[in-house]
Amino acid sequence: MATERSVAEGRIAWTRRHMPVLVETMAEFSVRRPFEGITVGFRLHIEPKTAVLIETLIAGGARIIAMGNDGTTQFGTAEALSSPKCEILDRPGDGPEAALANLDQIASAEPDLVLDNGAELIVACLGGGRPPRGATEETTSGSFLLRERHAGQIEFPIIVINDSPLKSIVENKHGVGESVVDTVVRVTNVSFHKKHVVVYGYGWCGKGIALYADRRGADVTVVEVDPIKALEAAMDGFDVADSTTAAATAQIVITATGRPDVVDFDVIEKMPDGVLLANAGHVDTEIAIRTMERAAPGIQLAPSLKRHDLPNGKSVFSIADGKIVNLAADGGIGNPIEAMDLGLTLQARSLAVLIDPTLDLQPGPQAVPDAVNARVAAAVLRSMGQQPAGPRG
């Protein structure tokens, strides 16, 4: 009988097959051993794609002490990874207090390198003890915390992965765009053809969502507060409107701004009967789902799909309670594996750069080095059977 662990092992094997760039890096690291004698404090969702990253670091000689992010640890994957080289601290049922204790435990182990998603582990490592030699931070919000609240306090280099133009293009635009639209279709089983889809935010994620909705035949309107981004949306062929105008005829609404209170309840009340609401941003308050819940408690129709019968007689449908849809919806498996092949290879190579004795990196948050971006971009192109033109001359 299949166990949680054996299912996870199968899923990791499938995932590894679709991460050719990270697997190529794993082969190189297993010879070069850049992390020999190095302990990596690791805080990122523990799931099959990050499992292949952990395998890559271990192949390079690292010892890992890890925890997931915000209760996202998949315990079958954690079990499959556990070994003398990899300790995963999360336990089923852990709450916020256990997560804080795990942060402290990793910081107290004085890791040589830190890989973080949200910067709380990096901040925990600032509190005395031997500082790490370097760190990577996955997110923009983590980099804000480091650049604003902890400016001047950081004595080691931190490479901010989200600042890489490659990640914006492959992961935020195409990975999020494809997986968000796919998840909405999978949860609802409705087609996008000729639906009026309103996308809030035309940053990297919003651009991708608008693009993939368009590719599925939707009529897309963009609501964007930045006039330059709004102009870009218009030049890309989408209608651009203010929230109230766009919402008046919306059939599917998807938010991707990362800001709270973007779609207020009074705007929802003006939307047509039957409108479907989903959020792709990290905060679950972009759409006023909680206010709507108070006025019209959701009736569960299917996993991750609720109907709200508003006092004005209209019915509104919400997916995953307004949480980040491609991860939080039932069966949400996040960005496609290939998109994460790129992002997690940037992580692996950036960690190696941080301890490269030939480089002298400045302390504090900084971008992924150009040489790493160029190398990973070329490798991803090759994995797609494409190649750059190479230098002129």
Ligand X SMILES: NC(=O)c1ccc[n+]([C@@H]2O[C@H](COP(=O)([O-])OP(=O)(O)OC[C@H]3O[C@@H](n4cnc5c(N)ncnc54)[C@H](O)[C@@H]3O)[C@@H](O)[C@H]2O)c1
Per CB under 6 A, residues contacting ligand X are: 172, 176, 200-206, 223-226, 229, 256-259, 262, 280-282, 324, 326-327, 334-335
Q: What's the min distance (Å) between Cβ of 76 and ligand X?
A: 22
DSSP symbol at 15: H
Q: What's the min distance (Å) between Cβ of 58 and ligand X?
A: 26
State the residue for tokens 């914006």: 168
* CB nearer ligand X, residue 204 or residue 317: 204
| 154 neighbors 146 (Cβ within 8 angstroms) | yes
State the residue for tokens 């395998």: 55
* Number of neighbouring beta carbons within 10 Å of residue 30: 14
What kind and span of H or E run contains 136? strand 134-137
Query: 307 - beta bridge partners?
Result: 299, 317
CA distances from 268 to 60, 202, 251, 309 (A): 52, 20, 11, 12
* CB nearer ligand X, residue 76 or residue 332: 332
* CB nearer ligand X, residue 168 or residue 251: 168
Give CA 322 to chain center in angstroms.
16
* CB nearer ligand X, residue 132 or residue 142: 142
State the residue for tokens 């919806």: 329
Q: What's the min distance (Å) between Cβ of 376 and ligand X?
A: 18
Q: What's the min distance (Å) between Cβ of 222 and ligand X?
A: 8
* CB nearer ligand X, residue 33 or residue 290: 290
Strand order in the sheet with 113-116: 86-88, 63-67, 39-43, 113-116, 134-137, 157-160, 364-367
* One-letter amino acid of 21: V
* Number of neighbouring beta carbons within 10 Å of residue 159: 25
* One-letter amino acid of 283: V
Q: What's the min distance (Å) between Cβ of 281 and ligand X?
A: 3
* CB nearer ligand X, residue 131 or residue 332: 332
What is the DSSP track for 184-246?
A: HHHHH----TT-EEEEE--SHHHHHHHHHHHHTT-EEEEE-SSHHHHHHHHHTT-EE--HHHH
Q: What's the min distance (Å) between Cβ of 263 and ligand X?
A: 9
CA distances from 217 to 192, 193, 210, 344 (A): 6, 4, 11, 32
Q: What's the min distance (Å) between Cβ of 200 and ligand X?
A: 5
* CB nearer ligand X, residue 38 or residue 346: 346
CA distance 79 to 220: 43
Give the sign of the dihedral formed by CA 37, CA 153, CA 127, CA 64.
negative
| 119 neighbors 143 (Cβ within 8 angstroms) | yes
Residue nearest to ligand X (CB): 203
* CB nearer ligand X, residue 109 or residue 241: 241
Q: What's the min distance (Å) between Cβ of 342 and ligand X?
A: 13
Q: What's the min distance (Å) between Cβ of 173 and ligand X?
A: 8
State the residue for tokens 């995932």: 15
Q: What's the min distance (Å) between Cβ of 373 and ligand X?
A: 17
Task: Find the length of the chain.
Answer: 393
* CB nearer ligand X, residue 53 or residue 354: 53
* CB nearer ligand X, residue 103 or residue 254: 254
